[in-house]
Every structure is written in C-alpha cells, then in structure tokens.
Amino acid sequence: MHIRFASPEETHALRQQVLRPMQAMEEMEWPQDRNPGSFHIGVEQDSELVAVASFLPERNPMLKGERPYRVRGMATAAPFRRAGLGARLLRFGMDGLLDRHADLVWCHARQRAVPFYARAGFTRLGSLFEVQDIGIHLLMYQPL
C-alpha cells in the first residue's frame, strides 16, 4: 500500500462510488480539477486506488489567506475505512501544500466527516448548511 499522485480521471471511480452514486461518471470531473496548482493523490493497493483526495487552489469568502487551497473529493472505499488511510492521505496532501507555499486549507465537510477533519486539526466555522442532493455540510479550515 502506498500513496502517490493521481490524474483527475483516476479519482472518478471512488468519487462516484463513495461520494456521488446518484451522478453519472461524466459528472465526476469538476471545473477546478485541472486548474494550475491543482493536484490529486491516492492510496494504491494491488494496482487500485482505495482512497483519493484532491487539493485545489480556491478562495473561500469566509476565510482569509493569500494562498488558500480547498481539499475536496476525500473518499476511502468502504472496506478500508477506519484503518488510518484517510488521515495518511490528508497528511501527504498537506505536506504538498506546504511545498506549494499554501497558507490555508479548507473544506466543506460532510457532517459525518466532521470528526475526521477535526482529528486532523481542522477548525469548525459557522453553521451547518445543506448542499442539495448531497447532505449537510460544515465549513472547516486549518492555517498552514
């Protein structure tokens, strides 16, 4: 099992399976995926990605930061959860953010993932909000 950089396409299967099963595979490509500075990572086991995450330069109006990044599409395949993979992947991505001189990372955490991000050092901000068809989220962030 090892962590490596991935192409946007390589994240699509887990994005769909874990995060957006109600959407078509063609909708798994997000507008920021290929922006300058965006990168994607995954945990590979037996030539398959079993966890993925994407790091995208993006500002959030609620947060200050000269070089903010958003972490998005964080997904561990169900049989591999609670084994520390998500935490390792997030740490690897955040090391990549430091290399890129980012000064802030934020996410719209799904309500069930709030404890995961809190454990990784993210702070909750504001109130819960609903994203249509996907569920309840909370803005979380961490200065780097």
Instruction: Give the residues lining the site for ligand COA (CB under 6 A).
Output: 18-19, 51, 74-76, 81-87, 107, 109-110, 112-113, 115-116, 119
Q: Tell me how far, at minimum, the Cβ of 131 lies from ligand COA, in Å.
A: 10
Which DSSP string do the residues of 36-95 spell out, in sequence order?
Answer: TT-EEEEEEETTEEEEEEEEEE---TT---SSEEEEEEEEE-GGGTTSSHHHHHHHHHHH
Short-list 41, 73, 63, 50, CA closest to 1: 50
Long-range contacts of 123-129 (CB under 8 A, 24+ apart): 125/62, 125/63, 126/62
Q: How far is the CB of 77 from ligand COA (least distance, A)?
A: 8
Cβ closer to ligand COA: 52 or 101? 52
Q: How far is the CB of 12 from ligand COA (least distance, A)?
A: 15
DSSP reduced 3-state for 136? strand
Q: Return the residue nearest ligand COA (CB atom).
A: 86
Minimum distance, C-beta of residue 118 to ligand COA, in the bound complex (Å): 8
Which of 36/133 has CB closer to ligand COA? 133
Nearer to ligand COA, 120 or 144 (CB): 120
